Amino acid sequence: MPILGIIASSRLTAAPTSYESISTVTVGSGGAANIEFTSIPATYSHLQIRGIVKSNDTADDRQPVKAIFNSDTGNNFSRHLLFGNGSSATYDDGTSTTSRLGASVISNFGSYANMFTAYIIDILDYADTNKYTTVKVLGGFNTNDATASNFSQIALGSFAWLNTAAITSIQLQPFNNNFVQYSQFALYGIKGS
């Protein structure tokens, strides 16, 4: 007899053919203050963004990535975040805030110069104008350096954009400084339910 949880969870995953590439942005040699996807078609059920990113901050520091939907820079998000660093876990939440997409971007600090943060961002029902948009984020990095104050992080987050408009543009930016060369985000449309 099949286990019901297995059946239920199998229906939450889209088939590989359900993903269509919409656009990919790769940061060039001069770095970039943000990357942007515009003219997003309303023909998919959901969106997914996959990224590998890094900040040009030279301090031993981390910072979150900020998402701006439809040029909305107001405090129109609520969030729940769970972080782990290999030895402890922390929690963060907020209402009436700007978006902070979970895992922090690793800085261009010392021996971490070639390490990037990985992200998967799911934007659910982005074209549904009858409800707020829900966002799920998974991201992290590992420097394998237990002596550093910021040696690793994994984060799981959920957000609500408190607006019922269909999302037609997405801008992603680090809270401080710029994305470095080779930072990349790829936007996919997901068909079906």
Task: Report residue 102 CA to chain centroid gap.
Answer: 7
Say if 121 falls within a structural domain. Answer: yes
Q: How many folded domains does the chain comprise?
A: 1
Say if 150 falls within a structural domain. Answer: no
Residues 6 or more apart whose CB falls under 8 angstroms from that of 10 comprise: none
Say if 4 falls within a structural domain. Answer: no
Distance in angstroms (rounded) separating the CA atoms of residues 107 and 116 = 8
Bridge partners of 114? none
Distance in angstroms (rounded) separating the CA atoms of residues 144 and 129 = 44
CATH number of domain containing 30: 2.60.120
Cβ(31)–Cβ(180) under 8 Å? yes
Cβ(151)–Cβ(53) under 8 Å? no
Secondary structure class of 44 (helix, strand, coil):
coil
Give the residue from 189, 186, 183 showing the smallest Cα distance to 167. 189
Question: Going residue by residue through the chain (193 aa), what tens digit of pLDDT does each one get?
Answer: 445 444 444 445 555 558 899 999 999 999 999 999 999 999 999 999 999 988 887 765 667 788 899 998 888 888 888 878 777 888 878 787 776 665 566 666 656 667 788 889 999 999 999 999 999 998 887 776 655 555 677 888 888 999 999 999 999 988 778 888 999 999 999 987 5
Say if 5 falls within a structural domain. Answer: no
Say if 183 falls within a structural domain. Answer: yes
Say if 12 falls within a structural domain. Answer: no
Residue span of the structural domain in which 35 resides? 17-86+95-129+155-190
